[in-house]
A and B are shown apart, each in its own frame.
Chain A
Amino acid sequence: MSRGTAAERIVPPPLVAASRQRRFVSGDRVFSVIAYAAAGLIMLIAAIFIIALLVPALPAVTKFGLGFFTSRTWDPVRNDFGALAPIYGTLVTSAIALLIAFPIGLGAALFLAEDARLQLLRGPLSFLIELLAGIPSVVIGLWAFFILTALMRDHVDPFLNHTLGFLPLFRGTASGYGFLTAGLVLAIMVLPIMIALSRDVIRAVPRELREASLALGATNAETTWSVILPYARVGITGAVLLSLGRALGETIAVTMVIGNNVQISASLFATGYTLPSVIANEFTEANGNVYLGSLFYLGVVLVVITIVVNVLARLLIWRFSGSARATA
């Protein structure tokens, strides 16, 4: 698409002399070659990346096959590996992150985009959100490791256990490390993306729609619920998916608080593991083809999960809005 618009800009008006026009045409050709080469390079990099991931994974793929996805064992001493526990941990922590970040993010975005009464607060708040987005994940991880874990252990987890302890989710002893803490850290990390993108999408809702709704006698709340949010739905879905992508792949901050324990537990207080954390933890000392291959296999699984999430998202957007607006 960008090639088309750029070409339009380069094509000279018809009044220009023929010789100059020829020079422009050849310039156009050079540009199109460069653009094709750039596009081809991206595909080449993607292909090399997939091959580089698959080839070292082969020893593990041939040894474990699809059983890799159903095995809970991760035993480097006996060379027996399975991905179920880290897959579970990755999905659970990302789900917690979205459950927390989605309502907060949407609320903050609506406030920033819609509420004109607090004009003065809007600038500093937007700035703070962008600042939060710029904090390196290792710094957030350190904060979580030193402050959040103790806070969870002494206050949040006991409170949840006391009030919602009838659910298996909030049972068991709380160490401060585990799925819930990791999910909370991820929520903090994806919030800026969620807020900034949703805010821009909500701002882009045509003014006429708002005014028409208000003119028909709808309240502000009704306008938000029945006009603005439905219109911005596609963009907000996009914001959620970008957040999910970040949550799935986040490594260092999660590694510091999840407890790094290969287990599946219904309790959110329990320690667990995620796919990126296993790779980050064990890669440096992994010896032997099967062990190293299993870590690459985990990498393949992570890429596949990300692709599946993206495809699902595309389908969702198409279904809701038709392909015309799917570019958001």
Chain B
Amino acid sequence: MKRVLMAASMGASILVAACGGTTATNTPATGAGTPVPPAAALQGTGATFPAPFYDAARFAYNLKYSQVTINYNPLGSGAGISALTKKVVDFGASDVPMNPTELTAAGGADAVVQIASTLGTESLAYNLSGVSNGQLKLTPQTIAGIFLGTIKNWNDPALAADNSGVTLPNQAISVVHRSDGSGTTYIFTDYLSTVSADWKSKVGKGKSVSWPVGQGAKGNEAVATTIKQTPGAIGYVELAYVLQTNMTQASLQNHDGKFVIPSPEGATAAAGQYLSINPTQFSIVDAPGPKSAPISGYSWLMLYKDQADKTKGTALVDFLDWLVTDGQQYALNVHYAGLPANIVKDDIISLKTVTSTGTTLLNVPAPS
């Protein structure tokens, strides 16, 4: 229900922005010099994590170019990959890029173009009476300890050492995690595997893992609500949900040893530490840099390099080109971070490789 309200308010704000701002909507060559896309109806499905951003963006794009309608069905990253492989959608979305096995099933690594579409970060939200927002400080070691079950009580000496001046209660820690497979879980367990050798050998990383402790809840909303309802609870939640529901979140110690409260700016700072990412080297968790938010990650869009329908293909690459450039403003509205310039450049270079019967579909100048 929260999401519906959110989407409605987002829609309204975009409408206001569109009415008050640009007046020349259907005239050629607005924005970043892109030509007017042909009329088409595009279908996409996949990850739930970036869905609020895609919804806002496709709505705004449709206001700009009313002849293009884009449907996005957030069924999960796995559904996005399999729907693309079966060619029942024009684009798929996933929080983790397609792996070699999935690429082989889809016709090989050269058949599919994968671009980073947005950037998000995760928070550790908690429910402790008397400990206000950002007051609880967690280090990579204590986070791993809590989720491995070696730190069981809030008055544990390991936690007290980092939190002088804060009275942590004598209360059992209730760990809350996602029960459904999700990119959020992938990024979080990728982080734990990076900072803790114990976690890496005992649990590992994945969209679903075998959790040593805690209880599972389905979706970011349910994890957030369970934490809010359970005294002594802690769990990892998408930053957007934490900010929208005013949850208390911990300061996290990053690679440089600085304590930061996760924010979109922190995600951008973390992403900025990596000059280049690609579908096999894409992890940006535990990034160096004083401002980096440690549990950050990209979300991805996939499409076929060879588009059978030239009209549709042209509309698709035009939309995606807009999404990674002008469209990024809609990411900030819903608490995702804007893509760094170097990644936008890589995305456009990738999109320019999309063809239909040998013709390049995206006619924008190659970024320098």
Q: Residues on A close to B: CB < 8 A?
A: 73-78, 145-146, 149-150, 153, 173, 175-177, 255-256, 259-262, 271, 277, 280-282, 284-288
Contacts and interface: CB of A to CB of B under 8 A. Distances in A.
B229 interface: yes
A284 B76 contact: yes
A261 B78 contact: no
B206 A77 contact: yes
A282 B208 contact: yes
Contact of A281 (B172, B174, B180): B180
A111 B99 CA distance: 62
Given A256-B218, A261-B214, A261-B215, A75 B182 contact: no
B82 to A, nearest CB: 8
A246 to B, nearest CB: 21
Given A173-B172, A284-B75, A77 B203 contact: yes
Given A261-B216, A282-B180, A75 B210 contact: yes
Q: How large is the interface on B (under 10, 10 to 19, 20 to 34, 35 or more residues)?
A: 20 to 34
B149 interface: no
Nearest to A80: B210
Nearest to A147: B229
Interface of B: 75-79, 81, 99, 101-102, 172, 174, 179-182, 203-211, 214-218, 222, 225-226, 229-230
Contact of B181 (A73, A145, A175, A286): A286
Nearest to B76: A284
B204 A78 contact: yes
Contacts of A74: 210
A251 to B, nearest CB: 11
Give 8 nearest A-B pairs by CB, closest first.
Answer: A285-B181, A260-B216, A284-B76, A260-B179, A259-B215, A77-B204, A75-B210, A285-B78
Given A77-B204, A77-B210, A287 B215 contact: no
Contacts, number: 88
20 contacts: A73-B210, A74-B210, A75-B209, A76-B207, A76-B209, A176-B229, A177-B215, A177-B226, A255-B218, A259-B215, A260-B216, A262-B210, A280-B180, A282-B180, A282-B181, A284-B75, A284-B79, A285-B78, A286-B208, A287-B99
> Taking each of B101, B216, B226, which has the highest tally of chain A beta carbons within 10 Å of its own beta carbon?
B216
A285 B203 contact: no
Given A76-B206, A78-B204, A175-B230, A281 B215 contact: no
Given A77-B204, A145-B225, A271-B215, A285 B210 contact: no
Contacts of B203: 77
A255 B180 CA distance: 10
Nearest to B231: A153
A260 B175 CA distance: 12
A304 to B, nearest CB: 24
Contacts of B99: 287
A177 B174 CA distance: 11
